[in-house]
Structure 1
Amino acid sequence: MTNTDSGDFRDRIQTNFSRQAALHTIGAELTRVERAMVEIELPFDVKLTQQHGILHAGIISAVLDSACGFAAYSVIDPDASVLTIEFKVNLMSPGRGDRFLFRGEITKPGSNIIVADGRGYAISDGPAKLIASMTSTMMIIRGREGISG
């Protein structure tokens, strides 16, 4: 793994995001891509809630996982890919808002394993409210059939 840019990581992340059918199904949008940091936004949709009308923990986890994974793409070689091998989510506040912002940031890049931290925020009137955090571990994949960057 290197931290050199042998291509446009932003284009690569956008291409991979466009291939994520699950994110498109729930209405997620890739809104910011920087080296070691990605943001994904999601509008509120009642179809994504649990029985109390708040954003489902599975949706929160899925989008945080994607934000962390795409952040990892910004610090790996263009011929490599990543797969999540472990994550932990803390749900800190009910997912109530008009929109949600999910940010993934690289905590520790590596040659085989990358650690990222994610934060999820509910956005309505007033300041954004932290609703969840994630610590994610990803494995860098090279030369594996069916998995490409």
Structure 2
Amino acid sequence: MPVFVETLTEPSSQDLLDLAKIFADAPAWLLAPHADAEALIQAALADGSLIAGRFNDRLLGAALLRRDTRHWQLSHLCVRKVTRRRGVGRRILDEAQRMAAEAGQDLQLAAPAEQLETQALAARMHLTLVPLQ
């Protein structure tokens, strides 16, 4: 499944519906510090940090990628429940790592430290896990 990862700056109305579906499947801890999925999406669009994986003109997964001068941080990675276990999240992570390396930056995974699956993901991807702010 060829998933194309892109930074979303001007999402279409379909993109906004897809993003709502993606983050509707997210556990509450993944949305923090935002009140809900809509607040997370709007904040990410406002600061230009929203990246998403697209297949056949539909968004299947998304994350926030904050680009700093010292390092880049990926957070809030979420894939639609019906699309999980098909490599969409891995494709988003791989592309974020490629983009960071191309910019000469390290990529960190930002998430709550108590989330065991996030710890495992960071270890598998050889990423530093940092607290989500």
Same-fold status (TM-score > 0.5): no
The higher radius of gyration belongs to 1
Larger strand proportion of the pair: 1
Give the structure, 1 or 2, with the largest relative contact order (CA under 8 Å, sep 6 or more).
1
Larger helix proportion of the pair: 2
TM-score (normalizing by structure 2): 0.34
